[in-house]
Amino acid sequence: MHTILVLGGYGFFGSRISQALAANEGIRLLIGGRNIAQAQSAVSKLELSSSQAIAIDAHAANLSERLVELKVNTLIHTAGPFQNQDYSVALAAISAGVNYIDLADGRDFVAGIEQLDSLARERGVFVTSGASSLPALSSAVVDRYLLRFKRLETIRHGIGSGARAPGLATMQGVFGYCGKPYTRLQAGHWQTVYGWLDLQHYHFPKPVGARFLGSCDVPDLVLFPRRYQDVQTVTFHAGFASASAHLFVWGASQCVRLGIIPSLSSFVTPLHWISQWLEPFISDKGAMFVAMEGVGIDDQPLKLEWHLVAAQNHGPYIPCGAAIALATKLARGDQLPSGAMPCMGILTVEDYLAALHGFDIRELPA
């Protein structure tokens, strides 16, 4: 049996990952978080033993000892937001000889995980950050089509979400940079843009249709120019299912940019509450796109566009696919590389989507 502890295992994404792993007979699943009552309720819903609910604080000084004591083989860290975290959880896992997978979406956090590479190699453990839609799935899509390009010059990608609001940690992460400056590569130059501004109107395939999108600060903006050497432009945009909610966030981000309000961080809890309340009134459909442009192997201009479409509010399972796929590989004894790396080049699109089998999630290949 391969023991996996999901930190934040009763959270929005953690509970979905736990649900998938509980069905795997080769895995002994532990569901952890700071609230033991919530962990107990999660294990009882999954018909697991009450001893599989663990009261644990990700940032406790004795985390490494706890992992050894619990005989954990792999730790899945979903206890975000990651934007201001250090690597103490990953370091505790390495020191305990435990594989580590996180769902981070913080640009510097994911890109910087490589600083733990030699420690992870010495200990012979697999450590990866960003095991989620970005950059795990997004880079797997680009890798799949790369051979069709002589020169891949532009990658534009984005997500239009469905009605179901993610957990507080995700909202704290993404609202933290509303109206705040960050850089992205545009026509070969690093330019400053502002979170949730740069309003776009993108036409997703049916049944999703047109959505407003705003610019987001994500790990891919720095990782893709490193991974794909000819790339001159990398952008990422995201948007809400409700056009009016999106325009509200866009307006509020303008206020932050203009210095009228310092940040949207303090509004996250009421915004989370409002988005849960609005859920029945807005579309349960969402989608992701990856558009790649450049010169094809026949020296002609080439543009490819890949989509993933989710319905019935199944979109929130998509960010869970990487952690489920990696945990499944580790549990069946597949060799994953020792070392610490952003989650790119480890999973194919097929690996990723196999972990989402059974949900109303449909790929439209380029």
Ligand X SMILES: NC(=O)c1ccc[n+]([C@@H]2O[C@H](COP(=O)([O-])OP(=O)(O)OC[C@H]3O[C@@H](n4cnc5c(N)ncnc54)[C@H](OP(=O)(O)O)[C@@H]3O)[C@@H](O)[C@H]2O)c1
Binding ligand X by CB under 6 A: which of 18, 128, 170, 242?
A: 170
Only one of the segments 7-15, 23-31, 114-122, 232-240 lies at the binding site for ligand X (rule: CB under 6 A); that segment is 7-15
Which CB, 9 or 294, lies closer to ligand X?
Answer: 9
Q: How many residues bind ligand X (CB under 6 A)?
A: 34
Query: What tokens does 275 get?
Result: 């988005």
H or E stretch at 283: none
* CA angle (248 as vertex; 244, 251 as ends), nearest 5: 135
Inter-residue contact 152 to 228 (CB < 8 Å):
yes
Is 148 a residue that touches ligand X (CB under 6 A)? Answer: no
Tell me if residue 129 falls in helix, strand or coil: strand
* CA angle (323 as vertex; 320, 326 as ends), nearest 5: 140
Only one of the segments 99-107, 143-151, 260-268, 288-296 lies at the binding site for ligand X (rule: CB under 6 A); that segment is 99-107
What minimum distance in Å lies between the beta carbon of 254 and ligand X?
24
What minimum distance in Å lies between the beta carbon of 345 and ligand X?
16
Which CB, 167 or 195, lies closer to ligand X?
Answer: 167
Only one of the segments 5-13, 20-28, 188-196, 262-270 lies at the binding site for ligand X (rule: CB under 6 A); that segment is 5-13
Pairing of strands 99-102, 126-129: parallel
Which CB, 13 or 149, lies closer to ligand X?
Answer: 13
H helices, E strands: number in the chain: 13, 16
| Percentages of the chain per state (helix, strand, coil), in multiples of 5 | 40, 25, 35
Binding ligand X by CB under 6 A: which of 22, 27, 134, 185?
A: 134
What minimum distance in Å lies between the beta carbon of 309 and ligand X?
17
How far is CA 277 from each of CA 166, 213, 282, 298, 306, rounded to the nearest angstrom? 13, 22, 10, 52, 32
What one-character DSSP code corresponds to residue 141? H
What minimum distance in Å lies between the beta carbon of 189 and ligand X?
26
Is 99 a residue that touches ligand X (CB under 6 A)? Answer: no
Residue with the CB atom nearest ligand X in the bound state: 80
Binding ligand X by CB under 6 A: which of 166, 225, 315, 342?
A: 166
Binding residues for ligand X restricted to 285-344, rule: CB under 6 A: 319
What minimum distance in Å lies between the beta carbon of 54 and ligand X?
10
* Non-local CB neighbours of 201 within 8 Å, separated by 6+ positions: 210, 211, 212, 213
Binding ligand X by CB under 6 A: which of 158, 160, 162, 173?
A: 173
Is 58 a residue that touches ligand X (CB under 6 A)? Answer: yes
Distance (Å, whole) CA 166 – CA 13: 8
Inter-residue contact 48 to 40 (CB < 8 Å):
no
H or E stretch at 45: helix 36-45
Binding residues for ligand X restricted to 197-256, rule: CB under 6 A: none
Only one of the segments 11-19, 239-247, 270-278, 289-297 lies at the binding site for ligand X (rule: CB under 6 A); that segment is 11-19
Residues near ligand X (CB under 6 A): 7-8, 10-14, 33-35, 38, 56-59, 78-82, 103-105, 130, 132-134, 166-170, 173, 319
